[in-house]
Amino acid sequence: MQNNAIVYCEGLFGESDGKVANGLVRFSEKYKILGIIDSTKAGLDAGEYLDGVKNYIPIYKDIQDALVNIKEAPKYFIIGAALAESYIPDNFMKAIKEAMTAGMSIVNGLPIYLTDNDSLNNLALESEVAIYDIRKPKPVTELKLFSGAIEKVTCPVVAVLGLDCAIGKRTTCMELVNSLKAQGLKAAFVATGQTGILQGAKYGVPIDVINSQYVVGEIEASVVEAFETENPDIILIEGQSSVSHEAYLSSYGIIKGGRPDAFILQYAPKRKQRVDFEFIDVPTTKSEIELIEFLSKKPVIALTINHENMLPTEVASEIKKAELKHKLPVEDVLLNSPKKITNTIIKTFNLNKKLSAV
């Protein structure tokens, strides 16, 4: 059966806190996205609003608006926001209950677990639907410590890190994976957050909810599994947060557990303060590159741009300026072709031999 789904993202679609919905609109192997619910953008095309290109995924006012207009019955109701709050807002809770009553199972990517709520569990039973808390970690007895198995991985590993949270690391990573595949290479993707898992990533875990003692081991295990299962020419790891971020440790786990051979740094030139931490300035690309290279002893080989609040002419200017400053290739892989960056990866690891053998 097709996994028909609608995505709830009230007031946040296209924003940094709507990144789950944004990602699912751009790419989804696991679910067929039938619509987005955000009353503030109702009537618009999701793809056109997000990237300027229609994808014929409508944005609806509310659940009833969606159910009246969608021809295929949605089976799943996905919570498409990454909320900073440590509780479920009332409007989200109301929508969750309405969706279950309408016969939809709930897919929850928040770090607040709906299956811990007795009233929601009872409603799910009454409505004959399920609740999936995809960020609920495995029991500690099933989590993996670092084992050194990463040393078995003989293909190159590249991590796409960022200058901040919600800055497009996963989107850029997947664009690069798809571009490498299109050029004839076997590229594997390792997700480290809930959106990548929701999109259908075969390998990876949402690392921000795992006991810190096991983060490195779980990332290592995911990379090793991708290597042993796919026998890839290259593995790309989705980054989380940033190495320099004052509030998060995720990037350290990726560096330690994934042992990347090189890094790509994603940044947003117009972003001056950190998402959800407006009192903290975003650091410079130069300082982040130096920190990544100091900790990993591996190079940053390219930079990629998130063009939020930028005109195309500003992006072109930024690319020229950043390439001159850092002596590295720079590209916006959503506005332009990813090939400048993928060609850099191919050249760095001499993967032309793999291509010539195809």
* Bridge partners, residue 113, by sequence: none
Q: The domain that contains 41 carries what CATH number?
A: 3.40.50.720
Per-residue pLDDT of the chain (358 residues; tens, 9 = 90+): 469 999 999 999 999 889 999 999 999 989 999 999 999 999 999 999 999 999 999 999 999 999 999 988 899 999 999 887 778 889 999 999 999 999 999 999 988 999 999 999 999 999 999 999 999 988 889 999 999 999 999 999 999 999 999 999 999 999 999 999 999 999 999 999 999 999 989 999 999 889 899 999 999 999 999 999 999 999 999 999 999 999 999 999 999 999 999 999 999 999 999 998 999 999 999 999 999 999 999 999 999 999 999 999 999 999 999 999 999 999 999 999 999 999 999 999 999 877 766 5
Number of domains in the chain: 2
Which amino acid would we find at residue 206?
P
Domain interval for residue 276: 142-356
Based on the fold, state whether residues 155 and 46 are members of the same structural domain. Answer: no
- pTM, two decimal places: 0.89
Based on the fold, state whether residues 162 and 289 are members of the same structural domain. Answer: yes
* Bridge partners, residue 266, by sequence: 162, 304
Q: The domain that contains 350 carries what CATH number?
A: 3.40.50.300
Give the β-pairing of 157-162 and 105-108: unpaired
Last residue of a domain, one of 105, 133, 161: 133
Based on the fold, state whether residues 106 and 176 are members of the same structural domain. Answer: no
Which amino acid would we find at residue 357?
A
Based on the fold, state whether residues 218 and 325 are members of the same structural domain. Answer: yes
Based on the fold, state whether residues 15 and 127 are members of the same structural domain. Answer: yes
pLDDT at residue 1, rounded to an integer? 40
pLDDT at residue 259, rounded to an integer? 97
C-alpha to C-alpha distance for 120 and 135, rounded to whole angstroms? 17
Based on the fold, state whether residues 152 and 224 are members of the same structural domain. Answer: yes
Reading the block at residue 81, the tokens are 């926001």
